[in-house]
Structure 1
Amino acid sequence: MGSRVEVERRSVMDHPPRVRALKRMLGVVADGMDPVVDLWRPYVDGLDNLPADGRVLLVGNHTQMGSAETFLIPYAVRRQLGVRVRPLADRQFAQMRGLPSDLMAAYGGVIGAPETARELMQHDQTVLVFPGGGREIPKFKGEEYTLRWQGRSGFARVAIENGYPIVPVGLVGGDDVYKPLTPRDSAWGRFSQAMSTRFGGRDDMAIPLLRGVGPTLIPRPERMYLRFGVPIDATTPVGVDAGGWAEWVKRHTQRELERILDDLLGLREADPYRGLNPLSWSRAAQPESA
């Protein structure tokens, strides 16, 4: 019997009836989400940078909990282009079974392996990847909106191999829903890393101490700021070493995404509606094209 990744690769474009039924249900839900999303008034710009055919590799940043960007990026693309985004999930999610696994597949998610990414690109799918993976989600104090891409250049190699343009897409707001209380090198951080290593085999999934509204875990009301950057042509120039080019594309994509995050943080700082204060609705920052 093949590994979970092998099974995922074989079924990346073909799902069993139960998953297809969930996919149709999620499609109906997504079609009715516009009024709900508009109520929260997320800031979204750069949609004109998306190729009209949807053939693109979106490269994003993970925020605390990993939920805002996982929902808002596919939602914005679907609303703009009418296409389904296929997120590449951390290999850790390969351990999921039953309904959670079916829901991930129905949503479009696949295990983030080179084989599955290549197959999606061979079918001209819109692909979304977070190179930091699951380790970029748990943020300790001082790590907000930082990218943890050490050694992660596989997305660049796959884009180059398949002639896929890369669009960096940054989200700000998700790291402020909860406030981390301690840095990674604190007593709690060291303890949490030790527990992560003991029970999960890796220390980069340590869990920070967080708080939301006041001393509680109620999420803070925060506006989300999303920007799609200028496409990056991953075509290898004539005479350039393939390995070196992949590393350059990775570094360039990371720099562009970090620049987007810095710009959005500045925009957010000056936005009176950043805390979703209804009294500031009329003065909320708007995209230039709005």
Structure 2
Amino acid sequence: MGLILHHKSLGKVFEVRCLHIPVNDRTPFEGLVNFVENSVKNEHALSPNRPIYLIGDSFGGCLSLAVAARNPSVDLVLVLVNPATSFGNSQLQPFLPVLEALPDDIHTAVPYVLSFIMGDPVKMAMANVDDDLPPPRTLEEISKSLTSLLPLLSDFNDILPKDTLMWKLKLLKSGTAYANSRLHAVEAEVLMLASGKDNLLPSGEEADRLWTKLKNCRIRYFKDSGHTLLLEDGFNLLSVIKRTTIYRRSKQHDFVTDYLPPTKTDFRKHIDQDNRLFRLATSAVTLSTLESGRIVKGLAGVPDEGPVLLVGYHMLYGLELDPLYEAFLREKNVIVRGMAHPILFRSSENSRTELSRFDLLLSFGALPVSPVNLYRLFAKKSFVLLYPGGAREALHRKGEEYKLFWPDQPEFVRMAARFGATIVPFGVVGEDDLVELVLDYNDQTNIPFFREWLQNVNEDSIKLRENMEGEVSKQDFHFPVLLPKLPGRFYYLFGKPFETKEKKELLKDRESAREAYMQIKSEIEGIFSYLKTKREEDPYRGPRDFARRCWVAGVPSSTFLSLLTSADLHRGLSMKIRDSDGIRGILL
């Protein structure tokens, strides 16, 4: 049943197979492993250069791991959803003898009770309700869906009669032991999806254990979900596969050809749920420059077709990225492929979150910065985002806001000229309104604990531009300590497009390329001055307008108050509550 909500979307990308075990089937665990193994080998023989994905849900996780352990030479990718390898620590384990001893008339209630332990019926009912319905209609549809779902849960008596249930539990016990004894032999790439409210298995703890046992394992954690994650509302398996970049068409993942852009549903979920408060806090203003030099609201001044190279300033931690990506998706229906530091693409990680910041960047097209990737993107007429200042700019020190750290060499101009790409310089201000830098790199190197930790972090890290002189070569990774400030706004200005199509001298004459490079850099510095002046004239900047935006968006007053409290207590701002009515009762 876990495939029901996902086969349509998965079918757009994969050739989907589903394993079904009939109620009366009594094939032992190794027999089931042989069955799956033969299917895998047949597929591998037909297409030896294509990876095979095994989606292992609960007991299927044991099967997937067993097949992978026995076939290390086959290119397998495992997606494990609350795998039953932790069955030995399950709450059901001590009840096996009791279940076996129950008389048939009492036993009929057991599968029905189990169905509620396995998942949240309300979340399962919501999975069939359209997200765009108004609240009254949504409540009505959930009620109908739940009413039709509950009788189906009672059908578990027919699906799992006593002898079948006991066989399944014994099968599960043997499968768990078999898979756990062979974890060391698993060479496959593994993505582990764990639920925080799994009442059937200790899936969170099991995810941590498997991460230490498996050679190439990543974890994503869904803290509010139950055991039947695949059947719950708001979960889309293909979206998870896309944003964790485990999708590939050959032995190695190709960030250019294997990229799967977010769907409209993915984008809407990101805007309305994952990124809602940040959007309200920054309330981005986007401006662009027409050919005539006139500055207009929106992206009308940016070309509609690629290849286009966006070159600009990197805020702390890349805070400017989300509104930029959203603006191009909304106005241009274009995915901007951002060039990022290769260290961010290390595959093995243990994330106790459902969606990491890096997942978000990947889903919106981030890929490792390299001349080869830039070349291939231009060849595909893509929109490319490049920060010449790189990590040094994104992890700048105190007092370095809106300062460019560019190398002396025109790294991108000649490549753009080779494909006739349009270069669009841009700047953004607002970082100083949103966060305050408390501990920068210099501060941390003066603290013994931080200094030793930074040395360990950077000892084996990937180094870029090591052979260059100046500040741009000093790109040691660290994590600046920030404090939130009163929300202001982000202001973007995309400068006048710089055409390279008819400028062959940029390819042949290095001095011409350098002049163009310095011209683009100078324009971005001018954009900073323009935006700083204009934002002082903005009547909709500051905490009062943030309060209005939260009120209009329906943000609960408790959430709003907690945001303001955490942001402003350290600045000594006083707040008074006139009434308990929410946003309207706040005086700043």
TM-score tier after normalising by the smaller chain length: 0.7 to 0.9
Q: How does 1:156-175 map to 2 (within 5 A)?
A: 156-175=413-432
What letter matches 2:458 in structure 1?
G
Q: Distance in 2 between matches of 1:31 and 1:194?
A: 39
Q: CA 1:254/1:278 → structure 2, altered by over 3 Å: closer, same or farther? A: same
The alignment covers a number of residue pairs equal to 265
Q: Distance in 2 between matches of 1:93 and 1:279?
A: 33
Establish whether residue 94 from structure 1 lines up as the match of residue 345 from structure 2: yes
Cα deviation for residue 208 of structure 1 reads 4.2
Cα deviation for residue 82 of structure 1 reads 1.2
What letter matches 1:244 in structure 2?
E
Q: Which residue of 2 aligns with 1:81?
A: 332
Is the 2:307–2:380 Cα contact (8 Å) retained in structure 1? no
> Could you list the per-position Cα deviations for residues 236-256 of structure 1 after superposition, in whole angstroms to 9, with x for gaps in the alignment?
746564322332222111111
Cα deviation for residue 142 of structure 1 reads 1.2
Q: How does 1:218-233 map to 2 (within 5 A)?
A: 220-233=486-499
Of stretches 269-278 and 84-93 in structure 1, the one that deviates more from structure 2 is 269-278
Point out the structure with max Rg over C-alpha: 2
What letter matches 1:49 in structure 2?
G
Q: Distance in 1 between matches of 2:409 and 2:439?
A: 27
Q: Which residue of 2 aligns with 1:285?
A: none
The TM-score, its normalising length taken from structure 2, stands at 0.40
Q: Which residue of 2 aligns with 1:43?
A: 285
Q: 1:244 aligns with which of 507, 511, 524?
A: 511
> Could you list the per-position Cα deviations for residues 100-131 of structure 1 after superposition, in whole angstroms to 9, with x for gaps in the alignment?
67654432111111111111111111111111
What letter matches 2:524 in structure 1?
L
Is the 1:54–1:83 Cα contact (8 Å) retained in structure 2? no
Is the 2:312–2:425 Cα contact (8 Å) retained in structure 1? yes
Is the 2:316–2:394 Cα contact (8 Å) retained in structure 1? yes
Cα deviation for residue 11 of structure 1 reads 4.1
Match of 2:425, SS state, is strand
Is the 1:88–1:109 Cα contact (8 Å) retained in structure 2? yes
Is the 2:440–2:481 Cα contact (8 Å) retained in structure 1? no
Is the 2:409–2:514 Cα contact (8 Å) retained in structure 1? no
What letter matches 1:87 in structure 2?
G
Is the 1:44–1:225 Cα contact (8 Å) retained in structure 2? yes
> Could you list the per-position Cα deviations for residues 132-186 of structure 1 after superposition, in whole angstroms to 9, with x for gaps in the alignment?
11221123221011111124632223212211010012111124322224787x6
Q: CA 1:242/1:96 → structure 2, altered by over 3 Å: closer, same or farther? A: farther
Q: Which residue of 1 aligns with 2:500?
A: 234
Of stretches 190-199 and 52-61 in structure 1, the one that deviates more from structure 2 is 190-199
Q: Which residue of 1 aligns with 2:387?
A: 130
Q: Distance in 1 between matches of 2:281 and 2:440?
A: 35
Q: Which residue of 2 aligns with 1:267?
A: 534
Establish whether residue 59 from structure 1 lines up as the match of residue 311 from structure 2: yes
Q: Which residue of 1 aligns with 2:152?
A: none
What letter matches 1:108 in structure 2?
G
Cα deviation for residue 64 of structure 1 reads 1.6
Q: Which residue of 2 aligns with 1:211?
A: 483
Establish whether residue 70 from structure 1 lines up as the match of residue 342 from structure 2: no
The TM-score, its normalising length taken from structure 1, stands at 0.75
Of stretches 229-238 and 191-200 in structure 1, the one that deviates more from structure 2 is 191-200
Q: Distance in 2 between matches of 1:176 and 1:189?
A: 26
Of stretches 98-107 and 136-145 in structure 1, the one that deviates more from structure 2 is 98-107
Q: Which residue of 1 aligns with 2:458?
A: 200
Q: Distance in 2 between matches of 1:172 and 1:74?
A: 16
Q: Distance in 2 between matches of 1:209 and 1:279?
A: 24
Q: 2:258 aligns with which of 3, 10, 14?
A: 14
What letter matches 1:156 in structure 2?
V
Cα deviation for residue 221 of structure 1 reads 1.0
Q: Distance in 1 between matches of 2:505 and 2:337?
A: 33
Q: Distance in 2 between matches of 1:150 and 1:193?
A: 27
Q: Distance in 1 between matches of 2:276 and 2:435?
A: 25
Match of 2:345, SS state, is helix
Match of 1:48, SS state, is coil
Match of 2:300, SS state, is helix
Q: Distance in 1 between matches of 2:451 and 2:501?
A: 40
Is the 1:63–1:175 Cα contact (8 Å) retained in structure 2? no
Is the 2:401–2:432 Cα contact (8 Å) retained in structure 1? yes
Establish whether residue 26 from structure 1 lines up as the match of residue 26 from structure 2: no
Is the 2:281–2:546 Cα contact (8 Å) retained in structure 1? no
Give the share of equivalent positions with the same residue, in percent. 27
Match of 2:412, SS state, is helix
> Could you list the per-position Cα deviations for residues 41-77 of structure 1 after superposition, in whole angstroms to 9, with x for gaps in the alignment?
421111121112243111121112212x211112111
What letter matches 1:63 in structure 2?
M
Is the 1:234–1:249 Cα contact (8 Å) retained in structure 2? no
Match of 1:154, SS state, is coil
Match of 2:414, SS state, is helix
Q: Distance in 2 between matches of 1:88 and 1:54?
A: 16
Q: Distance in 1 between matches of 2:323 and 2:413?
A: 23
Q: Distance in 2 between matches of 1:50 and 1:62?
A: 19
Cα deviation for residue 38 of structure 1 reads 7.4
